[in-house]
Amino acid sequence: MAKFKVIISDTQAGTSNSVEVGDARATPLIGKRVGEVIDGAIVDLAGYKLQITGGSDKDGFPMRPSVHGGVRRQVVLSGGVGFNPSDEGLRRRKMVRGNIVTEEIVQLNLKIVEKPKRSERKQKSQREEARSC
C-alpha cells in the first residue's frame, strides 16, 4: 500500500509541518494531479483546503507540473523544477517524475489555500476537550 510523507506549508505564517499518511488515508491522494485542491481531512486538518504543489519519488526525482502522467521521463529543461541553470540559455536533459501522484511517490508537498472560519475551529477544539475529559 502507499505511504506518503506529507509536508504542509502555511504560506501566511511561514511555517511547515510534516505528517505521515499511510494505507487507507493515502488512497484518496493517488491519482491526483499537481495543482489540484483537496480536502484537509485526509491529513487530519478538517475544514482546511490544501493544494498539491509537488513531491518526489522513491529515488528523489521531483514531480514536474508540465510532464503529464505518473511516469518518470527524461526531458530537456531550461529551468524550473528539477534544474537550476547556472548560465542563461543553458539546457539539460534531466530525469523528472510526471504530475500525477502514484504509489511510487514518497514525499508530497501541500500548501494551505483555505482555512476554516474561526467559529469552526472553536467548535472543533471544544469537541476535543470534551473527548479528553
Of 61-65, 104-108, 123-127, least confident by mean pLDDT is 123-127
What's the structural domain count of the chain?
1
- Does residue 86 belong to any structural domain of this protein? no
Determine, yes or no, domain membership for 26: yes
φ/ψ of 128, rounded to 5, equals -65, -40
Does residue 84 belong to any structural domain of this protein?
A: no
What backbone phi and psi angles, to 5 degrees, belong to 64?
Answer: -115, 125
**pTM for this structure?**
0.82
pLDDT for the residue numbered 130: 72
- Distance (Å, whole) CA 61 – CA 55: 9
In terms of pLDDT, which residue wins out, 63 or 128? 63
Residue 38 has pLDDT above 70, yes or no: yes
Which residues lie across from 37 on neighbouring strands? 51
Q: Does residue 54 carry a pLDDT above 80?
A: yes
Q: What is the rounded average pLDDT for all residues in the chain? A: 90
For residue 112, being part of any structural domain is answered with yes
Is residue 40 packed enough to be buried (19+ CB in 10 Å), middle (13-18) or exposed (0-12)?
Answer: buried
For residue 47, give the nearest of 109, 117, 100 by alpha carbon.
Answer: 117
What is the average pLDDT across 74-97? 93
Could you list the residue range(s) of the whole structural domain that residue 52 is in?
Answer: 3-65+100-132
Q: Does the pLDDT of residue 41 top 70, yes or no? A: yes
Q: What is the pLDDT of residues 4-24, one digit of tens each?
A: 999 999 999 999 999 999 888
Q: Round to whole Å and give the CA distance between 21 and 100.
A: 17
